[in-house]
Amino acid sequence: MENESVRKQVVGRGVPVRGTDIDTDRIIPARYLRTVTFENLGDHAFEDDRVGGGHPFDEPNYQGAEVLVANANFGCGSSREHAPQALMRWGIKAFIAESFAEIFFGNCTTLGLPCVTASAEDVQALQASIEANPQQDVVVDVDARSVRFEGGEIAVSIPNGVREQLVSGNWDSLGQLLDADSEVAALAAKLPYATSFATT
């Protein structure tokens, strides 16, 4: 049996969230960060953007969607892991965008949520196709670096290291970091600010 952490492919219905520079304050407003757990954050995803209606997260057709399709610089702003946590708890399992903000991308990887990028043209074609037929499956093939949908197949990018982590199921960084404890101790002991001059 394959390790359940392996993320070679995510297959699910898509939800387009259009717009550039969608920031983490919009994904999860700061008032919901007043919590000591990540539970229930899914209920508040995009809450302020949803006021007044018309947000894809409220469309009956997109309920149960698992692949979020966004435009440029998605997830910019704060380092709050609450943002991917909120989207994950709403049901999202993978992201496709023209580009991602770096901390958001890293936070997603630590949660085993693949983020792949495609050209603006391809992303828009995919968004349009999902809007025309929200029931179709979108296949995010991390292993093959492609996304397949009704309209065909598009090439997507994901950095080698991250792809490797997802495909092998080794995206939980803590396990790997804990493995090198003796090397860590050795490095810590020879840092100039630990040996040649005292700092704390």
Partner 1 sequence: MGKTLLHKTWEAHSVRQLPSGQTQLFIGLHLVHEVTSPQAFQMLRERGVKVRFPERTFATVDHIVPTDVTDRPFIDSLAEEMMSAIEQNAQEFEIPLFDINDRRQGIVHVIGPELGLTQPGMTIACGDSHTSTHGAFGAIAFGIGTSQVRDVLATQCLAMDPLKVRRINVSGALTDGVYAKDVILHIIGQLGVKGGVGYGYEYGGDVIDAMSMEERMTVCNMSIEGGARVGYVNPDQTTFEYLKGRPHAPADADFDRATAWWQSMASDVDATYDDVVEMEGRDIGPTITWGITPGQSVSVEGTIPELSQFEGDERKSVQEALDYMGFAEGQSIAGTPVDVTFVGSCTNGRLSDLREAAKVAKGRKVAKGVKALVVPGSQQVRAAAEAEGLHEIFQEAGFEWRGAGCSMCLAMNPDKLKGNQRCASSSNRNFKGRQGSPTGRTMLMSPAMVAAAAVSGEVTDVRSLMN
Query: 94 near 116, Cβ under 8 Å?
Result: yes
Of the pair 20, 136, the CB lying nearest partner 1 is at: 20
Q: Which is nearer to partner 1, 28 or 65 (CB)?
A: 28
> Hey, which residues between 45 and 74 contact partner 1 (CB under 8 A)?
48-49, 51, 71-73
Asked whether the CA dihedral 157, 159, 162, 165 is positive or negative, the reply is positive
Strand partners, 95: 68, 115
Q: What is the Cα–Cα distance from 180 to 197, expressed in whole angstroms?
A: 26
Nearest in space to 134 (alpha carbons), one of 11, 12, 27, 10 = 12
Q: Which of 67, 94, 99, 130 binds partner 1 (CB under 8 A)?
A: 99
Report angle CA 160, 163, 167 to the nearest 5 degrees. Answer: 140
DSSP state of 43: G
Looking at residues 20 to 49 of the shown chain, list those that interact with partner 1 (rule: CB under 8 A): 20-21, 23, 25-26, 29-31, 33-38, 48-49
* Contacting residue, 45, 65, 87, 101, with partner 1 by CB under 8 A: 101
Tokens of 87: 């989207």
Using the rule CB under 8 A, is 3 a contact of partner 1?
no
Length of the chain: 200
Binding site for partner 1 (CB under 8 A): 19-21, 23, 25-26, 29-31, 33-38, 48-49, 51, 71-73, 76-82, 84, 99, 101-103, 106-107, 110-111, 120, 159-162, 164-165, 168, 170, 173-174, 176-178, 180-181, 183-184, 187-188, 191-193, 196-200
